[in-house]
Amino acid sequence: MSKIGQNPITVEAGVIIEIDDKVVKVTGPKGTHTIVLPHVISAKLDSNILTVSRSGDSKQNKSLHGTFRNLIANAIYGVTKGWEKKVEVVGTGFGVTVKNDEAVFKVGFSHQVKFAKVEGITFVVDGTNILIIRGVDKQLVGQTAHQIRMIKKPDPYKGKGIRYLGEVIKLKPGKKTKTA
């Protein structure tokens, strides 16, 4: 039995869940998120308790059971509190600003790099070098943060570039002088 999938989900006040066959729509104060369930998984809402069940006991069904239970729980968290990731721009003269809902990076290129607005994602700048990425969908927030990080990955020798806030970069040693 899937231990994660068996856990019921408590639906907080202010969250509306609509279950239409295999589509679960979660609406809350921060937005709406929709999850399409596979044919072996079903969801049932009783008062404020949501339970997820599966039709069979195969290994794949058990893994889908736990996965989709957590996807629904993450959607409920996203529409109430929201998900966020922070990326840090490290380097002399490097920085980030937000103009017209798009992030503009100065990361050592001859030009500024513009990252276009993603539907469902908001950008907020903290200081001059920290970008906060916020949204309802956990997967979309993480994917956007990764795409931003790929604009200029951290340099393995000096550590300059875009990294997640708190990420530790193990620096490689540079050339060593020959001693006699």
**What would the mean pLDDT of 17-44 be, rounded to a whole number?**
94
pLDDT band at 176 (very low <50, low <70, confident <90, very high): confident
Please spell the DSSP secondary structure of 55-69, one letter per residue: S--SHHHHHHHHHHH
Q: Give residues with Cβ within 8 angstroms of 28, minimum separation 6.
A: 14, 15, 16, 76, 78, 79, 80
Rounded CA-CA distance 135/126 in Å is 17
| Mean of per-residue pLDDT scores for the chain | 92
Superfamily of chain region 3-80? Ribosomal protein L6 (3.90.930.12)
Give the residue among 20, 22, 16 at the shortest CA–CA distance from 40. Answer: 22
pLDDT surpassing 70 at residue 179: no
* Bigger pLDDT: 177 vs 155: 155
Residue 180's pLDDT is what? 60
Write the CA distances from 154 to 36, 87, 91, 166, integer angstroms. Answer: 37, 12, 10, 13
Residue 41's pLDDT is what? 93
What's the N-to-C CA distance of the chain in angstroms? 67
Question: Could you read off the pLDDT of 73-120 as tens digits, one per residue?
Answer: 999 999 999 999 999 999 999 999 999 999 999 999 999 999 999 999
Domain 83-164 has CATH 3.30.70.20: no
| DSSP-derived secondary structure letter, 107 | S
Give the residue range(s) of CATH 3.90.930.12 domains in the chain. Answer: 3-80, 83-164
